[in-house]
C-alpha cells in the first residue's frame, strides 16, 4: 500500500484509537470503501464489516481475515467509517450510503488527504449532517458528526441517486467515479479504430470499464463467437452489461458475453484468440507503469499460440520492452493526441 494510503488510514482511525470518539457499545463498525492496512490490526475486539468495490483492495482485506461484502439494505450501525473517493459525485453518493446505514444517534466518520479535496468532502458531509468535529493528522483532515445529527432527507435522496447508472453524453450507460465515466476515452477510441473486422473467435477485454471497447468489438467484428469483459471496479459491471446487451440488440448479434469482477494482474481463468486492452497505469496521482506491464503479461499468458493483443497506452509509457519479451511480433499501429495503439502476436514461452 502506498505511504499516502497508510497515512489516510492512520488519520481515519485516530479519533477512535485516541479516545476522542467513543467506539460503539456493540463493537460493530461498517467501513465503506475500506482499505487494508496495518492500523486495522490494532482494532482488537471490533466486529468490522468492510465494503469495497475494487477487487485488489477487497482481496487485500480478505487476506487480513476481514469480512468484505455489500451490507444488507436494512443494516444499521452506530458507527460508519468512510474513505470517500476523489470524484465528488461518487463521494456524495457514498456519504449518502453511509447515512442510510447509520443507526439513529450514530456517527459517520470520514477522512481525506488535504491534497485530494479534504475540505470539499468535509463541507459535503456537513451539508448532510450539520456541524462537524474535525482534526488534522498526517496531512489529512478527519471529520465526523455529533451524535444525534439527522441528515437532510431531500438531500439524502438526491445524493443516493447520484450513484445510479445513467446515460453519458456519448450515449453509453455509466456512473460517476468510473474511468472516463462521462465521455469516450480518446485512447480507447484510437484503439477501436485499429480493430480489424476479421477478428474472430473468443475475445477478452481487460479493464473493460463501462464496456466501450466490447461494444466496438460487437459492432465491428461479425466473426466473434464470444466476448468476456474483465473489470476490477464492481461499480462498472452493471453499466457494462447494459451497454453490451444494447449493442448486441442493435447489431442483431447473439454471441456469448460475460462480465467478470476480476483483478487482471492475478491472471485470467481461460485462454483467448484475441485480447483488447486499455490498461490502467496510475493509482491516485502516481504513474505506475507496472500495472500496465502486469496486464501485458496476463494477456500473454491467456492468449492461444496465434493469439493477438491489441493495446493502447499513453505514448510515454515504456511497454514496448515488456511486449518484446513476451511476443515475437510487436508493431506500432497508430499514434494520436499523446496515445499509441500497439499490436502483438506470437506469444513467447
pLDDT in tens, 194-252: 999 999 999 999 999 999 999 999 999 999 999 999 999 999 999 999 999 999 999 99
pLDDT values of the chain reduced to their tens digit, one per residue, 349 residues: 446 789 999 999 999 999 999 999 999 999 999 999 999 988 888 999 999 999 999 999 999 999 999 999 999 999 999 999 999 999 999 999 999 999 999 999 999 999 999 999 999 999 999 999 999 999 999 999 998 898 999 999 999 999 999 999 999 999 999 999 999 999 999 999 999 999 999 999 999 999 999 999 999 999 999 999 999 999 999 999 999 999 999 999 999 999 999 999 999 999 999 999 999 875 544 457 899 999 999 999 999 999 999 999 999 998 999 999 999 999 999 999 999 999 999 999 8
- What pLDDT was estimated at residue 2? 47
Give me the pLDDT at residue 3, please. Answer: 62
Inter-residue contact 195 to 216 (CB < 8 Å): yes
**Amino acid 287: pLDDT:** 57
pLDDT of residue 165: 96
Q: Cα angle at 103 between 98 and 105, to 5 degrees?
A: 110
- Eight-class DSSP state of 33: T
Q: Which ranges of 227-288 would DSSP assign to H, the alpha helix?
A: 237-251
Task: Report the DSSP pairing between strands 282-283 and 286-287.
Answer: antiparallel
What is the predicted pLDDT for the residue at 4?
78
What pLDDT, on a 0 to 100 scale, did the predictor assign at position 211?
98
Q: Strand locations in the chain, DSSP E?
A: 28-32, 47-51, 67-68, 77-82, 102-113, 132-137, 140-145, 166-167, 173-174, 200-206, 223-231, 256-261, 272-277, 282-283, 286-287, 303-314, 327-336, 339-347
* Per-residue pLDDT at 349: 81
12-20 contact pairs (CB < 8 A, 24+) = 12/81, 12/83, 12/109, 12/110, 12/111, 12/140, 12/142, 13/39, 13/40, 13/42, 13/43, 13/81, 14/135, 14/137, 14/142, 15/109, 15/135, 15/142, 15/144, 16/109, 17/42, 20/135
Give CA–CA dist 31/68, Å, rounded.
9
The H or E element spanning position 19 is none
* Residue among 340, 279, 273, 258 at smallest CA distance from 309: 273
- Give φ, ψ of 30 to 5 degrees: -100, 130
Distance separating alpha carbons of residues 57 and 189, to the nearest angstrom: 29
Go through the domains of the chain in sequence order and give each one's CATH number: 3-161 (3.40.50.150), 166-347 (3.40.50.150)
Q: What is the pLDDT of residue 285?
A: 45
Residues 28 and 78: beta-carbon distance below 8 Å: yes
Q: What are phi and psi of 170, to 5 degrees?
A: -85, -5
> CA 39, CA 253: separation in Å to the nearest integer?
50
Position 319 scores a pLDDT of 94
Decide: 291 and 281 in contact? Cβ < 8 Å. Answer: yes
Residue 288: its pLDDT value, please?
Answer: 72
- Its sign, for the CA torsion 222, 224, 226, 228, is negative
Percent of residues, the chain, with pLDDT higher than 90: 91
- Contact by Cβ (8 Å): 214, 339: no
d(CA 328, CA 347): 6
Enter the pTM of the model.
0.94
Assess contact for 274 and 306: CB atoms under 8 A. Answer: no
Amino acid at each position: 500500500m502506498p505511504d499516502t494510503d497508510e497515512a489516510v488510514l492512520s488519520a481515519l482511525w485516530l479519533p477512535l484509537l485516541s479516545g476522542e470518539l467513543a467506539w460503539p457499545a456493540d463493537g460493530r463498525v461498517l467501513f465503506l470503501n475500506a482499505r487494508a492496512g496495518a492500523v486495522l490490526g490494532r482494532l482488537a475486539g471490533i466486529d468490522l464489516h468492510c465494503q469495497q468495490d475494487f477487487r485488489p483492495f477487497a482481496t487485500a482485506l480478505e487476506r487480513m481475515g476481514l469480512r468484505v461484502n455489500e451490507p444488507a439494505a436494512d443494516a444499521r450501525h452506530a458507527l460508519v467509517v468512510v474513505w470517500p473517493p476523489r470524484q465528488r459525485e461518487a463521494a456524495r453518493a457514498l456519504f449518502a450510503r453511509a447515512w442510510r446505514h447509520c443507526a439513529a444517534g450514530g456517527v459517520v466518520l470520514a477522512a481525506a488527504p488535504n491534497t485530494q479535496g479534504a475540505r470539499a468532502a468535509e463541507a459535503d458531509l456537513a451539508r448532510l449532517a450539520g456541524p462537524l468535529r474535525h482534526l488534522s493528522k498526517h496531512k489529512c483532515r478527519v471529520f465526523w458528526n455529533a451524535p444525534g445529527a439527522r441528515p437532510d432527507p431531500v438531500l439524502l435522496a438526491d445524493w443516493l441517486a447520484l450513484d445510479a447508472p445513467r446515460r453519458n453524453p456519448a450515449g453509453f450507460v455509466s456512473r460517476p467515479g468510473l474511468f472516463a465515466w462521462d465521455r469516450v476515452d480518446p485512447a480507447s477510441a484510437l484503439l477501436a479504430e485499429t480493430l480489424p473486422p476479421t477478428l474472430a473467435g473468443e475475445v477478452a477485454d481487460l479493464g473493460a470499464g463501462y464496456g466501450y471497447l466490447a461494444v466496438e468489438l460487437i459492432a465491428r467484428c461479425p466473426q466473434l463467437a464470444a466476448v468476456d469483459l474483465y473489470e476490477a471496479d464492481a461499480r462498472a459491471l452493471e453499466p457494462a452489461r447494459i451497454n453490451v446487451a444494447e449493442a448486441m440488440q442493435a447489431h442483431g448479434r447473439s454471441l456469448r458475453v460475460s462480465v467478470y469482477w476480476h483483478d487482471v494482474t492475478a491472471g485470467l481463468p481461460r485462454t483467448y484468440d484475441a485480447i483488447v486492452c486499455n490498461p490502467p497505469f496510475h493509482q491516485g496521482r502516481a504513474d505506475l507503469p507496472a500495472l500496465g506491464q502486469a496486464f501485458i503479461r496476463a494477456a500473454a499468458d491467456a492468449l492461444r499460440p496465434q493469439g493477438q493483443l491489441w493495446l493502447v497506452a499513453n505514448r510515454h509509457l515504456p511497454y514496448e520492452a515488456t511486449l518484446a519479451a513476451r511476443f515475437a511480433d510487436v508493431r506500432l499501429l497508430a499514434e494520436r493526441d499523446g496515445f499509441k495503439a500497439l499490436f502483438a502476436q506470437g506469444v513467447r514461452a
